[in-house]
Amino acid sequence: MSFLDKFFGKYSRDLGIDLGTANTVVFARGEGIVLREPSVVALDKSSNKVLALGNEAKRMLGRTPGNIVAIRPMRDGVIADFEVTEVMLRHFIKKILNNKAFMQFRPRIVVGVPSGITGVERRAVLDAAMNAGAREAYLIEEPMAAAIGANLPISEPFGSMIVDIGGGTTEVAVIALGGIVIAKSIRVAGDELDEAIVNQCRKNYNLLIGERSAEEIKIAMGSVYPTTENETTMEVRGRDLVTGLPRTFTISTAEVRDALIEPVNTVVDAIRMTLEKTPPELAADIMDRGVVLAGGGGLLRGLDRYIAQETELSVYVVDDPLSSVAYGTGKVLEEIDLLKKVLVSND
């Protein structure tokens, strides 16, 4: 490590970023999680001026007048709008580095990315991080970051399986000896769960609800494994597709569960396909050690029990699934020389 690296490392607040489709979570070295905000930006369409970001912008989703649009610049785990993503990243970084004395010491940044992204998409993330104020930028695949954040023994000569269900992608990976042996990335995750609820309300009640309402239903009563204690109902407001007028209806846990089963089965299929391609010795390790669930999808009630039932494997949810990728990027920052082999090449 050069003198300049040591000097900047002493004064800069290095950041690990889980740049997610639904939420951006930031880990500051030596401090832990310092920011968790929705990956949403509100723009004035006429001037392209940014009006709000994060929590404030998310409150505007589905409620904006014609000249304002609230958008999510990340789609399916990758950058859909480069310029807006860069603005959002810069805003979050400045919000964290609010002490002007530290602003001159640009941070080193590690960003979690889906395992299936292309070289062009990798370069877009690196460029966005550098343009947002990074001194150096590195990428790490999200399943590897989630495994590190979950304290899995990634360097050991036996296999560990991690399933990271985010907002835009689900990452399934088998890790051994510090590398990803086999991985599958599917673009079915939290957003598709919300969409399934929207479609269920349209089909069963002829009512249209927004994505925010669907997410609220998922969080409040979403489940995929029936139990006697979590059966409940919830009042939901939507627009009647026949009359065009607002109407309130009541949805049950069973209906929500029925809506969520199809996308959840797609995740289960991805786990099965990954296991089928896993070398026999590592598959035997997974039989012994089980599957670890991370990401916001890990919070879905009964998901661990449903996957265990369908795969006949033990399934465990990490302590803080929403933060596992960010914690992983943070651990890489703290031991960057030791863990450089897990970073994605910048080439």
pLDDT, residue 7, reads 43
Tell me: pLDDT of 103 over 70. no
Domains annotated for the chain, with CATH where assigned, are: 3-145+324-344 (3.30.420.40), 160-188+264-319 (3.30.420.40), 190-259 (3.90.640.10)
pLDDT, residue 285, reads 94
Closest CA to 194 of 11, 22, 324, 26: 22
Tell me: pLDDT of 314 over 70. yes
Between residues 23 and 65, which one has the greater pLDDT?
A: 23
Question: Is 190 a known ligand-binding residue?
Answer: no
Question: Is 21 a known ligand-binding residue?
Answer: yes
Question: Is 215 a known ligand-binding residue?
Answer: yes
pLDDT, residue 68, reads 85
Question: Is 298 a known ligand-binding residue?
Answer: yes
Give the amino acid at 198.
V
Question: Is 169 a known ligand-binding residue?
Answer: yes
When pLDDT is cut at 50, 70 and 90, the band that residue 1 belongs to is very low
| Mean pLDDT on 280-309 | 94
> Is this prediction's pTM over 0.75?
yes
Q: For the chain, what percent of residues have pLDDT higher than 90?
A: 55
Question: Is 22 a known ligand-binding residue?
Answer: yes
How many other CB atoms are found less than 10 A from the CB of residue 65?
8
Tell me: pLDDT of 13 over 80. no
For 105-162, what is each residue's pLDDT tens digit? 788 899 988 887 888 888 988 998 898 888 889 999 999 999 999 999 988 888 999 9
Angle ∠(105,109,110) on CA atoms, nearest 5: 165
When pLDDT is cut at 50, 70 and 90, the band that residue 100 belongs to is very low
* Alpha helical stretches, state H, the chain: 3-11, 55-58, 82-96, 100-103, 119-131, 142-149, 190-205, 211-221, 253-276, 280-289, 303-311, 324-334, 336-339
Question: Is 218 a known ligand-binding residue?
Answer: yes
For 146-161, what is each residue's pLDDT tens digit? 999 999 998 888 899 9
- On average, the pLDDT of the chain sits at 87
pLDDT, residue 3, reads 42
pLDDT, residue 143, reads 92
When pLDDT is cut at 50, 70 and 90, the band that residue 8 belongs to is very low
When pLDDT is cut at 50, 70 and 90, the band that residue 2 belongs to is very low
Closest CA to 176 of 283, 256, 80: 283
Tell me: pLDDT of 280 over 90. yes
Question: Is 334 a known ligand-binding residue?
Answer: no
CA separation for the pair 111, 124 (Å, rounded): 12
What phi-psi label fits residue 343: left (phi over 0), alpha (psi between -120 and 50 degrees) or beta? beta
Question: Is 297 a known ligand-binding residue?
Answer: yes
Question: Is 217 a known ligand-binding residue?
Answer: yes
When pLDDT is cut at 50, 70 and 90, the band that residue 260 belongs to is very high
Between residues 40 and 11, which one has the greater pLDDT?
A: 40
DSSP 301: B
